[in-house]
């Protein structure tokens, strides 16, 4: 009963470095999402994938790219990290059909210095 | 633009002292309103979905209600383990964009 697994849990990057955040779910969900959470702001959607093979921009996509590798895995890439990307990143998935709640991973705390 | 406002920002209760958290929203046609619980250092955990005004959902000491403008999360006789941040979110009916708007949460502390 792993649910949604994110790696790494913590990361410190220097400005300009790149990295990929990994996410995998084992619930056979079609839809997967990447959110960021910042103090005093609600969770904001970066990118989502409604189904395997499709990806779309969310509310704050600039500076990020995503890959839906297969039905289980959805990765988020920062090509050239900036201090404004310091945040906690959550991956989530959702089942098909009616309006279901998300299942979230435990998050990646990213600091860009 | 969809908006979600939660109040209060923080709430401190004695164990057993019942209270309510508020979520006010504006959305162009509500598809669903969600409540989540978030513990420190963890991802949000789904609690309830409410679809239409008048609907109620319960889980242990928690009861969520919905009107056309707001939702309440009632906590009856809370225990210290209910301490967490409670998030409210709404999804609009219109558009193909799977946009869910989250509030900033109410941080609940229950003191023994």
* Maximal C-alpha separation, chain B: 46
Please name which of A103, A110, A108 lies closest in space to residue A3, comparing C-alpha atoms.
A103
Tell me whether B25 touches chain A (CB under 8 Å). Answer: no
Confidence of residue A33 (pLDDT cuts 50, 70, 90): very high
Beta strands in chain B (DSSP E): 3-7, 10-14, 19-26, 30-38, 45-50, 56-59, 62-66, 70-75, 84-92, 100-102, 106-111
Are B100 and A107 in contact (CB < 8 Å)? no
DSSP E strand boundaries for chain A? 4-7, 10-13, 19-25, 31-37, 44-49, 56-57, 64-68, 74-78, 87-94, 103-104, 108-112
pLDDT digit string (tens) for A65-110? Answer: 999 989 999 999 999 999 999 999 999 999 875 567 899 999 999 9
**Which residue does chain A place closest to B32, by CA atoms?**
A99
* Contact yes or no for A42 and B102 at CB 8 A: yes
Model pLDDT for residues B37-71, shown as the tens digit of each residue = 999 999 999 999 999 999 999 999 999 999 999 99
């Amino acid at each position: 009963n792993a649910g949604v697994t994110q790696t790494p849990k913590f990361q410190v990057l220097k400005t300009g470095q790149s990295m990929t955040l990994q996410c995998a779910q084992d619930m056979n969900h079609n839809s997967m999402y990447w959110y960021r959470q910042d103090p005093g702001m609600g969770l904001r959607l970066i990118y989502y994938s409604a189904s395997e093979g499709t990806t779309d921009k969310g509310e704050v996509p600039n500076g990020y790219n995503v890959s839906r590798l297969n039905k289980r895995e959805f990765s988020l890439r920062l090509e050239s990290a900036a201090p404004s990307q310091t945040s906690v990143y959550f991956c989530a998935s959702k089942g098909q059909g009616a309006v279901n709640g998300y299942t979230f991973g435990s998050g990646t705390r990213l600091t860009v210095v | 633009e969809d908006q979600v406002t939660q109040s209060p920002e923080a709430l401190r209760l004695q164990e057993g002292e019942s209270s309510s958290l508020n979520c006010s929203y504006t959305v162009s046609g509500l598809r669903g309103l969600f409540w989540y619980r978030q513990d420190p250092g963890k991802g949000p955990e789904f609690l309830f979905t409410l679809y239409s005004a008048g609907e109620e959902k319960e889980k242990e000491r928690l009861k969520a209600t919905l009107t056309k403008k707001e939702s309440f999360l009632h906590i009856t006789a809370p225990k210290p383990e209910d301490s967490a941040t409670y998030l409210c979110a709404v999804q609009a009916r219109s558009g193909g964009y799977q946009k869910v708007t989250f509030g900033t949460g109410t941080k609940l502390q229950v003191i023994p």
